Chains A and B, each alone.
Chain A
Amino acid sequence: MPPPVTNPEPVVISLVLRLHEEDALPTATLAALRAHPSLEIGTVCDSWVPLVAETPDPRELHRWLESLPGVASVDVAFVEVVPQPDAPRYATERAPSHSSLIPSPSSRPR
């Protein structure tokens, strides 16, 4: 079973958050963003929030941001590309039967 792929090196990303306009700017959400140790918040314009992060797991951060109250959308503006760790290797020599590569339900990645 190939090991899970991780990217231990943090990458610099910038995101654009859009907050719901009909609500007042969600102060709790903005406070949570400002308090986050990996986030740098830019100038908030209307309901748009630019932010920069350094994170080893951009997708995890992305999901967290999407879950915040008042956040309508999270889009990517910039991504640093860093060398990846070893990828799972499917041998180019003859592979075993495909059925043996099916993980058991408990170990399937989410």
Chain B
Amino acid sequence: MERRDFLRTTAMAAATAVIAQRLGAVEATPASHPGATTAPDGITWDKAPCRFCGTGCHVRVGVKDGRVVAIQGEQLAEVNKGLLCVKGYHVGGILYGQDRLTTPMLRRNGVLAPITWEEAIDVVAQRVMKDPKGFAFYGSGQWTIPEGYAAQKFMKGGLANNHIEPNARLCMASAVTGYLSVYGVDEPAGCYDDLDAADVVILWGNNPAEMHPVLFSRLIERRTRGQKVTLIDLGTRRTRTTEHADEYLEFRPNSDLAIANGIAHLLLKTNSWDRDFVAKHCNFRGDNALLDLLGKPISFEDYRAAVEPYTPDYVEQLSGVPAAKLRMLAELFGRRDVRITSLWCMGMNQHNRGTAINRLVHSIHLLSGHFGRPGDAPTSLTGQPSACGTAREVGTMCHFLPGGRLVANPEHREQSEEIWKVPAGRINPKPGYHTVQLFEKFCTPTEKGGDIHTIIVQVTNPGQTLPNLHKLFLAKEGLADKFLIVSEVYPTATTALADLVLPAALWVEKNGIYGNSERRTQQWFKQVEPPGQARPDAWMTIAVAHRLFELGHPGMNDGSWKETKFRFTEGADPFVAKGKGIQFYHSVTKDDRALIWFCPYEPATEAPDPNFPTWLCTGRVLEHWHTGTLTMRVPQLRNAMPNAYVEMNPEDAAAAGLGNGDLAVVETRRGKIELPVWLNGRARPPRGSVFVPFFDERLMINELTLGEPCPISKQPDYKKCAVKVTRKGGEPLVPIPAPPHG
């Protein structure tokens, strides 16, 4: 078959298999993923999450001759079940743009020129050493989880510097503060299953038909199956999503705040709010003078008074949404027989009152009790593939530590210092600059207070994505003492102003883990080599840390990054204090000393005697692993060592009338078995001892062993008990039965 024909056949099989699975003709719930597989056409397929949006679809990547040659949807993936959106056409091709960056480059006299990695890492390290406090790290919701974690630990645990931010500040920060201030913890409570159960889906300034197509297609597919799913599109412009909506409610920018309050107003006015749910599970909160995350407690009456002005007429006046439509929304929320999912993304998050609108939409769900059941969920979708897993869960923002901890919280700092094995007090309690501040400081002359001198940027393009670019990015030009380091895969608007460019590995050119919008963590393994000298971003961060260690930076000299080849020895073991030479730091006597023991001789519990005159020792053989369950099923190993035996000293054997291969009766006080004798084989027991291996389930020597345990460790003794070995009644040698596993 021609390659092209094979490809078409494979393609049709992929589409047909997806349909079969959707129709229930094929069960696709294996106990575990099959892993990489190679097809007859030589294409090796392995899985990876899609490199694009926060939906977290899984693909199968087809690799041949070191290149990605095909992509298909991963049928076993819960998120997308074998289907891809239109972006899936391009996810394989992103690796192969002609102008891929392949060499580190340093700008000299305005021109970028190639340098070695060693030089490049030294340049970065020297910039840190110049003034560690003025060094900043700008990363990404497209960082893998290890990349973000490495950067976070390097900065906060190593440099005691909190000037690290992900680009997720620009996309998800208001979702974060919304979740934190409502639930006390970040990230959605629901998951994509809500889309399969909701009766009503309200889209708050959200265009999932274009931005999260695979999720949107779950809703459309339900409709094609005849299910009623009401879509309400609340937006400031018509989009592709609007074409599928039952209601399009166009509102004036920023008036979503009024709409949300209007719904709350009506829920109270019509008494359709969920008193039980609120009484059991909620308190009320309002802004304090500082407008901070925690706000201040307010009473229910205060809350009622606060939403009182948001009558339907007033909200219509502010928003342009007809009062009747507002009543329609409130009536839906007031019903207990429907399940409502609210979805939003950048419309609510990239918002000058993003925290407020997030809080309000969560609050409507809580006030009406539309929470905690499949289909009843307020959910902020993420845009990037790992804004949840990396930027948020790892805590790469300037005020966070991993796992939702805060730099300002002493207990959280202590926990992180303990886990990272850094000295107490290492982590700076003061939050660093947030993204806008960071770049503002970077683009401000040093003499005018611009105290960030160097930024390293990984996996993002602030030269295009920052707002107010002239102030926050382009103003860097001409500031000779400011240094921009950019790790990238292609030239961008950011590399255009970079002083040092580092070529990065992309997607399946490295191992990785991403956490998607619904808190699902998904990993992949490297499948192709990166081009030229491109390296993973985690490697770059660790290499810089290593170079700083060599340069003597105090934050890097605890040595815990080193392998410990020789424990307790100074220089090799990072926990041995300087000058100690040898230090037993786990000392039982708490004085860095190990213990020299005396233990008296004691005879074995059961030693040879006139009735059982020989020592029995048991053990393993080269060919078989332990009890032979695995290896006896490998023909070559079984043939090499087909059965157990008793290994004897030839003189003992002769005295018992036994020759090589004769059947002996091996007996202890606990039992007896018959074993063929092996003389002068691979091992030579002395007179008075025999050896029997334990791998053979047909000839189980442990029926004979004593197993007297050590009184302290409780481990049984398999190596010594008393045995007698005799010829089996003068009978001829009996062939060993064939293995049952055949």
Give the chain A neighbours of B497 by CB distance below 8 A: 94
A59: chain B residues at CB < 8 Å are 86, 89
A42:B493 contact, CB within 8 angstroms: no
Find out whether the CB atom of B492 lies under 8 angstroms from the CB atom of A98. no
With A48-B19, A52-B15, A72-B221 as contacts: A93 and B92 at CB distance below 8 Å: no
Inter-subunit contact B23/A50 (CB<8 Å): no
Interface residue? A76 (CB, 8 A): yes
**C-alpha spacing A97/B475, complex, angstroms:** 12
B98 at interface (Cβ–Cβ under 8 A)? yes
In the bound complex, residues from chain B placing their C-beta under 8 Å from that of A98 are: 469, 474, 493
A-side contacts of B20, CB under 8 Å: 45
B577 in the interface (beta carbon within 8 A): no
Give the distance to chain B from A69, nearest Cβ to Cβ, in Å.
14
Chain B count of residues within 8 A CB distance of the other chain? 59
A46 to B88, CA, bound (A): 25
Q: Judging by beta carbons under 8 Å apart, are A77 and B73 in contact?
A: yes
Q: Is the CB of A78 within 8 A of B220?
A: no
User: Given the complex, which residues of B lie within 8 Å of A18, measured CB to CB?
Assistant: 220-221, 224
Other-chain contact of B8, A15, A40, A43, A95 (Cβ < 8 Å): A40
Knowing A13-B11, A81-B71 touch, does A50 contact B16 (C-beta < 8 A)?
Answer: yes
Complex alpha-carbon distance, A72 and B82, angstroms:
18
Contact A48 B22 (CB under 8 A): yes
* Contact code string B19-31 (vs A, CB < 8 Å = 1, else 0): 1101100000000
Size of the chain A interface, CB-CB below 8 angstroms: 47
* B23 close to A78 (CB less than 8 A): no
Measured between alpha carbons, how far is A83 from B64 in the docked complex, in Å?
Answer: 13
Contacts of A40 in B (CB 8 A): 8, 12
In the complex, B459 has a CB within 8 A of chain A: no
Residues in chain A near residue B22, CB distance under 8 A: 48
B495 proximal to A (CB < 8 A): yes
Contacting pair A76 B86 (CB below 8 A):
yes
Residues of A within 8 Å of B484, CB to CB, are none
Q: Cβ of B86 and Cβ of A81 under 8 Å apart?
A: no
Specify the chain A residue showing the minimal Cβ separation from B95: A81
Per-position 1/0 for B487-515, Cβ under 8 A of A: 00011110111100100000000000000
Are B491 and A92 neighbours in the complex by a CB distance under 8 Å?
A: yes
Q: Judge whether A110 is part of the interface by a CB distance below 8 angstroms.
A: no
User: Does A91 touch B at the CB level, under 8 Å?
Assistant: yes
The complex places the Cα of A57 from the Cα of B93 at a distance, in Å, of 14
Bound together, the chains give a CA A54 to CA B72 distance in angstroms of 15
Residue B70 at the A interface, CB < 8 A?
A: yes
Report chain B residues within 8 Å CB of A84. Answer: 93, 96-98
- Does B7 sit at the interface, judged by CB under 8 A? yes
Residues of B near A78 (CB, < 8 A) are: 10-11, 14-15, 70-73
B217 within 8 A of A: yes
Given A51-B15, A80-B69, does the pair A75, B83 have CB atoms closer than 8 Å? yes
A12 interfacial contact with B, CB 8 Å: yes
A38 to B88 CA separation, bound complex (whole angstroms): 20
Interface residues of A in 60-108 (CB under 8 A from B): 62, 72-73, 75-87, 89-95, 98
Q: Which residue of A lies closest to B495 (CB)?
A: A92
Complexed CA–CA distance, A11 and B201 (Å): 37
B111 CB–A CB distance under 8 Å = yes
A16 at the interface (CB under 8 A from B): yes
> B4 to A12, Cβ gap below 8 A?
yes
What separation, in Å, do the CA atoms of A13 and B15 have in the docked complex? Answer: 10
Whether, in the assembled complex, B472 has its beta carbon less than 8 Å from a beta carbon of chain A, the answer is: no
Known: A50-B19, A59-B86, A75-B217. A94 touches B110 (CB 8 A): yes
Give A19 to B223 CA distance when docked, in angstroms: 11
- B92 → A minimal CB distance (Å): 3
Q: Are B224 and A89 in contact, with the CB atoms below 8 A?
A: no
Residues of chain B within 8 A (CB-CB) of A91 are 491, 496
- Please give, as numbers and ranges, the residues of chain A lying within 8 Å of B12 by CB-CB distance: 14, 40, 42, 50, 52
Known interface pairs A13-B89, A75-B83, A81-B69. Does A21 touch B225 (Cβ–Cβ under 8 Å)? yes
Judge whether B224 and A77 touch: CB under 8 Å.
no
Say yes or no: B19 contacts A93, CB within 8 Å: no
Measured in the bound complex, the distance between the Cα atoms of B12 and A63 in whole Å is: 20
- Give complex CA distance A3, B96 in Å: 18
- Shortest beta-carbon distance from A53 to chain B in Å: 9
In the complex, whether B603 has a CB less than 8 A from a CB of chain A is no
Are the C-beta atoms of B83 and A77 separated by less than 8 Å? yes
Chain A CB within 10 Å, residue with most, of B15, B72, B214, B495: B15
Residue of A nearest to B224 (CB): A72
Residues of B within 8 A of A90 (CB): 99, 490-493, 495-496
Of the residues B11, B84, B226, contact of A12 by C-beta under 8 Å: B11
Q: Nearest Cβ in chain B — how far from A42, in angstroms?
A: 5
B residues near A58, Cβ cutoff 8 Å: 86, 89
Of A50, A72, A79, which is within 8 A of B72 by CB? A79
Produce 1/0 per residue, A18-60, CB < 8 A to B. Answer: 1111100000000000000000101101111011101000110
**Set of chain A residues within 8 Å of B23, measured between Cβ atoms:** 45-46, 48
Quick check: is B215 within 8 A (CB to CB) of the other chain? no
Q: Tell me if B202 is interfacial: C-beta within 8 Å of chain A.
A: no
The 5 closest A-B pairs by CB, nearest first: A81-B92, A50-B15, A14-B11, A75-B83, A95-B496
**12 additional contacts, CB 8 Å, given A50-B15, A93-B112?**
A12-B11, A14-B15, A19-B224, A40-B12, A72-B223, A77-B84, A84-B96, A89-B98, A90-B99, A90-B493, A90-B495, A92-B105
26 A-B contacts (beta carbon < 8 Å): A12-B8, A14-B72, A42-B15, A45-B19, A52-B15, A58-B86, A58-B89, A72-B223, A75-B83, A75-B85, A77-B18, A77-B84, A78-B71, A79-B71, A79-B72, A79-B88, A81-B68, A81-B93, A83-B96, A84-B93, A84-B98, A87-B97, A87-B98, A89-B99, A90-B492, A93-B112
CB within 8 Å of B: which residues of A?
Answer: 12-16, 18-22, 40, 42-43, 45-48, 50-52, 54, 58-59, 62, 72-73, 75-87, 89-95, 98
